Structure 1
Amino acid sequence: MNRSISWMKYMALAAVLLLVLSGCGAAGNSNSAVQASGGEQVGQAEGGNLTYALATSPDTLDPHRSGLAVTVRAIRTIYDNLVVQLPDGSIKPWLAKEWSVSEDGKSYTFKLREDVKFHDGTPFNAEAVKFNLDRVIDPATKAANSLALIRPYSSSEVIDEYTIKVNLEQPSQAFLGNLSQALLGIVSPTAAKKYGDQLGKNPVGTGPYTFVKWDENADIVVAKNKDYNWAPETVENEGAPHLDTITFKIVPEEATRIGSVQSKQVLAAETVPPQNIAALKNDPNQQLLQANTVGLPYTLFFNLRKAPWDDVKVRQAVQSAVDVESIVKTLYLGNYERAWSALSPGILGYDASLEGSIQPDINKANQLLDEQGWVKGADGIREKDGKKLTLHYVDGSPNREKRNDIAAIIQQQLKQVGIAVEVEITKDIATVVYQNWDYDLYGNSQVNSDPNALYAFYHTSAEGERPTLSGLSDPKIDKLLEQGAVETDPDKRVDIYNQIQQYLIDQAVILPIYVFPYTVAASKSVQGIKFDSLGYPLFNDVRIQP
């Protein structure tokens, strides 16, 4: 199979999908005038408040410090980016009007718009861009996902008020596309200096909506930026939004979240439970909108820093004992695709040859554990050198996308081969996972537009930097990841990332579980919700029809 052709097929499908998404299940084109029953046009609605239920709470509204996808749903309204990525993968202007790249690929010179202001009146210019890029790499910022996205940025030079030269340590095929991601949104330098660590509670950008308030674990409110006039190509409305306000309500409980749409307490709600999808499709008052996310699918990472999970055969035993297919079918009722790789379909370099490559095999799992000297005790749990074979499986609360249920099923499946699974559900993932690294298996995913996203998850961590989830350290993989970041030939890049994906499955470094489709249940009165190339909702074109 020609994998580059396969990738182009996925990107073409994504482009078509983006065009039709906002009309999926709706009464018609969300951006055209509504037709009255006699064929007469009625005026388009302006104003109103869109209530939009989120499945979890953002960790912060400071884009540079967030590590959560849910944050992007809110901050996409507040911040803009230098560039925008279209569904076909092309990069187009946004706050930057144009740019040029040096012959060695290590410098980008951006010409900026001259008519943009931050919500606090601060002018948007080259100094503001330099402040933002430098802020991400400043250790004092404690940047999260943005730090991985901005690499290998080294410095910026202000050429004049609206021209900036951005320097990289080495060429990067992912850098320009990464600048389009919301976690590299441009914050007001004035606000960042004024609020410091509290910018996340007082966000100021140049986006179509301005921040009003955030009541912790309750709601986030943003209001129309009346001066907005620089929207990207991913929306039709270049100017100020049609809505007056958006209220993002934080509703973790699935039934409550979807019930609130059906009872009209909110107009839209994200992450529709699989068991509700069929009913929503048949509800004359509701519409179901869906966008497939791309990047890293929901994946379980072994902690290779801990024995016995540093033993490839023990990991392969788990890989053979876990029936991922039955988990995905049971929990997601055919609405989520099973993941087979460290990358999701639709991203450059996805290796479709891995599909079907791993099947459950209890006999193989038992054989591998026998070979490694793990012997079943009287209670059915294996032991070696006086220690029981126990796997510490950590997951977060609330039960996002039924991930706690995955842990419970895997606990039962591994018991069959003599592995005791201790499931820890915690609200404090930051401490348990990212501070104490106290887990044997932990699940995560990431929305991303480039396979270079694998670098932050599988490249050996530099001294003093945050360790990777898996703790993998292999010079061969490090070299491939470094090559993939700079390779300019797309076919060669595909081959590099295919090798990495094959290794991760062959060595059972991870257990890929599912590809997440971003779903929204909305009243049919809500028109014009669109999605960007990564599957995040855009609200520039939204109207609420009476």
Structure 2
Amino acid sequence: MKHTSAHTPRKTVWATGLTAVALVLPLAACSAGGSTPEPGEARTNLVYATGDGEPSCLDPHVGGNFPQALLATQVLESLVALDAEGTIVPWLASSWTVSDDGLTWEFTLRDGATFSDGTPVDAAAVQANIEHLQDPDTGSSTGYLAVRQVAAVEVVAADVVRFTLTRPDAALLESLAQPWVAMQSPAGIARGMDENCLAPIGSGPFVIDDWVKQDRIELVRNPENTTSPDGIDAPDAAAAETLTWRFIPDATARFAALEAGQVDIIDNPLPEQITVAENSEDLAHLDAPRPGASNRIELNTSTVPFNDQRVREAFIASANVDAGLETLFEGWAPRSTSALSSRERLALQSPEAYVFDPELANTLLDEAGWTERDDDGIRTKDGQRLTARFPVTGAQSTQAEQALFEQIQAGAREVGFDIQITLLDLSSWYGALGAYEYEMVSAPYTKIGPDVLRFLYHSDATVPAPSGYFANNAQVKDPELDALLDTIGTSMDVEEREATARAAQEWIANASIILPIYDQQNHFLYRADLTEFRALPTVNTPWLGTVIAG
């Protein structure tokens, strides 16, 4: 198997592709190059086609999901970033210091940075952004949780801003690097949510020019952009001047447009399309899995049937995940047995906790009292069927993943589970979670570092953010686990934090509250004539500011 690492694009040799000519989009609607350039001349327009759901708001402070982060990376910049080795590096902040007690942080900002509306990126702007994230009316989830420990933001000087925390936050820099906490123009925020959702104003390489709902967003080069993360050069003069961001939900149509040259880059390809690109002279593949949590199925421990650990263990033992991955993903999604993405340095794999064993599953269900079966073969106990509701959203899961869920559903049925999969749009899916109308859920969560475990499994995380979102879908409330997660979040001692992260992962595996499947997938296919295309190491969103379309 050959594929590109997260930061080193490469192309391979041609093989017959999956062509769907009938689904190629009209050339006038989405030509990758606009006007035809002279041979050897770089094109001025870049076209990106996404299969992720179209955001209802482009301001990543509002809510805070991955589709927002994809686009925000092209428009907004963060105080700090992550490099390819996982080290925090300067971006809008040139340096920072932290007090001995971990409660006071001071950030010095880069000279001369401005938002595209001419507003300076200064301490007052940082203060306005943190206040915006923490304002309940913003309805932030990811960003709100990231800065939850910030009690006050003080303007020390035009280029120096001071954060005072409620408690030490070992993950503060990791949190500030994320696109959901990126800086926006205070003047843009002041316009109000409706206008800012249409076009947040940042200091990044592009500016949002127009948004044609259900079709595309047009962006133009930001002439005020002078900053980039340390380690990434400023855009070359030949870099694309405009960016067309298309929404093409159908994976076959998206790939056909790429093959036809109507689109330069696509995300969310099917596994077989990745294989085609890996063997193509015209296409290339970038594999950039997301940090934070693994893709996993979480079991709601607060209600029947998964409030009984034996039933949770039985479900896990009924799932032949390895076989499903082999048949459906063509090797592009290696199995995970960890709560953390393997991109995380502290990820602990626990294969012994996730073994396929239908015989054990049957034994455990018998021990748990689910001994009878109805006419459909579903186990019952005291007249109640062994049922688990599993809402799934197509906006956050691929076709292959949905097929894997169906295979897991079939395996669970063999031992007597009735897993009820319901495919919902993103808004309805959030609604189902908020109303606790689930016993199982697959909810990807992208965050840098092991502190994501605190977001996902601390009892505090069963309490909704101002947006109504809560991240502890497993509804775990355990003092021993809480203590471990608190240490991960607060300890400034590297060795203590690492040891505690391992202990927390062991607790999660032993309690059988999740079924890990694989890392959060993040595959990009692109035309091989592109140069300088990469994923930004922070959360591996595409970085298009420096791309040259040859």
- Normalised by the length of structure 1, the TM-score is 0.89
> Where does residue 491 of structure 1 map in the other structure?
495
Unmatched tracts of structure 1, length 5 or more: 1-15, 28-41
> Where does residue 522 of structure 1 map in the other structure?
526
> Where does residue 536 of structure 1 map in the other structure?
541
Q: Which moved more, 1:45-54 or 1:133-142?
A: 45-54
Q: Which amino acid aligns with 1:22?
A: P
C-alpha distance 26-127 of structure 1, shift in aligned 2 (>3 A): farther
> Where does residue 370 of structure 1 map in the other structure?
366
Q: Which amino acid aligns with 1:476?
A: E
Describe the SS at the equivalent of 1:293. coil
> Where does residue 263 of structure 1 map in the other structure?
260
Q: Deviations over 1:29-69 (max 9, x none)?
A: xxxxxxxxxxxxx9985551111110113422111124321
Does the 8 Å contact 1:272/1:521 carry over to 2? yes
Q: Which amino acid aligns with 1:440?
A: E
- Quote the Cα distance in structure 2 between the aligned partners of 1:212 and 1:502: 49
Describe the SS at the equivalent of 1:473. coil
- Quote the Cα distance in structure 2 between the aligned partners of 1:402 and 1:71: 23
Give the alignment of 1:181-200 within 5 angstroms: 181-200=178-197
Describe the SS at the equivalent of 2:210. strand
Give the alignment of 1:401-440 within 5 angstroms: 402-427=400-425, 428-440=427-439
C-alpha distance 25-184 of structure 1, shift in aligned 2 (>3 A): farther
C-alpha distance 240-83 of structure 1, shift in aligned 2 (>3 A): farther
Deviation of 1:284 (Å): 1.8
- Quote the Cα distance in structure 2 between the aligned partners of 1:193 and 1:281: 47
C-alpha distance 233-240 of structure 1, shift in aligned 2 (>3 A): farther
Describe the SS at the equivalent of 2:488. helix
- Quote the Cα distance in structure 2 between the aligned partners of 1:125 and 1:408: 51
Q: Deviations over 1:282-333 (max 9, x none)?
A: 2222122222322211111112222121111111110111111112112111
Deviation of 1:202 (Å): 2.1
Give the alignment of 1:233-312 within 5 angstroms: 233-237=230-234, 242-312=239-309
1:506 aligns with one of 502, 505, 510: 510
Describe the SS at the equivalent of 2:445. strand
Q: Which amino acid aligns with 1:502?
A: E
Does the 8 Å contact 1:337/1:516 carry over to 2? no
- Quote the Cα distance in structure 1 between the aligned partners of 2:416 and 2:521: 34
Deviation of 1:334 (Å): 0.8
Q: Deviations over 1:8-31 (max 9, x none)?
A: xxxxxxxx9455x2345499xxxx
Does the 8 Å contact 1:26/1:524 carry over to 2? no
- Quote the Cα distance in structure 1 between the aligned partners of 2:11 and 2:172: 33
- Quote the Cα distance in structure 1 between the aligned partners of 2:365 and 2:455: 31
Describe the SS at the equivalent of 1:278. helix
C-alpha distance 306-132 of structure 1, shift in aligned 2 (>3 A): same
- Quote the Cα distance in structure 2 between the aligned partners of 1:222 and 1:26: 33
Describe the SS at the equivalent of 1:448. coil
- Quote the Cα distance in structure 2 between the aligned partners of 1:76 and 1:51: 15
- Quote the Cα distance in structure 2 between the aligned partners of 1:181 and 1:431: 22
Does the 8 Å contact 2:392/2:424 carry over to 1? yes
Unmatched tracts of structure 2, length 5 or more: 15-37
Q: Deviations over 1:483-531 (max 9, x none)?
A: 1112223232222111211221211111111113422211122211011
Deviation of 1:275 (Å): 1.1
Q: Which moved more, 1:459-468 or 1:42-51?
A: 42-51
- Quote the Cα distance in structure 1 between the aligned partners of 2:138 and 2:361: 45
- Quote the Cα distance in structure 2 between the aligned partners of 1:328 and 1:359: 14
Q: Which moved more, 1:56-65 or 1:175-184?
A: 56-65
Q: Which amino acid aligns with 1:371?
A: E
C-alpha distance 158-44 of structure 1, shift in aligned 2 (>3 A): farther
> Where does residue 125 of structure 2 map in the other structure?
128
Describe the SS at the equivalent of 1:337. coil
Size of the aligned set, in residue pairs, is 515
Describe the SS at the equivalent of 1:229. coil
Does the 8 Å contact 1:315/1:508 carry over to 2? yes
Q: Deviations over 1:147-203 (max 9, x none)?
A: 122232111111122211111111121101211111111011111111324422121
> Where does residue 445 of structure 1 map in the other structure?
444
> Where does residue 385 of structure 2 map in the other structure?
388
- Quote the Cα distance in structure 2 between the aligned partners of 1:109 and 1:447: 26
Describe the SS at the equivalent of 1:246. strand
> Where does residue 22 of structure 1 map in the other structure?
9
C-alpha distance 241-503 of structure 1, shift in aligned 2 (>3 A): farther
1:222 aligns with one of 207, 219, 222: 219
Q: Which amino acid aligns with 1:218?
A: D
Deviation of 1:217 (Å): 2.2
Does the 8 Å contact 1:349/1:493 carry over to 2? no
C-alpha distance 251-439 of structure 1, shift in aligned 2 (>3 A): same
- Quote the Cα distance in structure 1 between the aligned partners of 2:281 and 2:62: 41
Q: Give the percent of matched residue pairs that are identical in Structure 1 and Structure 2.
A: 25
C-alpha distance 328-126 of structure 1, shift in aligned 2 (>3 A): same
> Where does residue 23 of structure 2 map in the other structure?
none
Q: Deviations over 1:335-373 (max 9, x none)?
A: 111110110113132113x13542111111111111111
Deviation of 1:429 (Å): 3.7
Q: Deviations over 1:457-507 (max 9, x none)?
A: 111136564442111111111111001112223232222111211221211
Deviation of 1:145 (Å): 0.8
> Where does residue 30 of structure 2 map in the other structure?
none
C-alpha distance 265-193 of structure 1, shift in aligned 2 (>3 A): same
Deviation of 1:206 (Å): 1.0
Are 2:56 and 1:51 aligned?
no
Q: Which moved more, 1:292-301 or 1:309-318?
A: 292-301
Deviation of 1:146 (Å): 0.9
Q: Which amino acid aligns with 2:141?
A: A
Q: Deviations over 1:409-433 (max 9, x none)?
A: 1221111001111111111344433
Describe the SS at the equivalent of 2:126. helix
- Normalised by the length of structure 2, the TM-score is 0.89
Q: Which amino acid aligns with 1:409?
A: Q
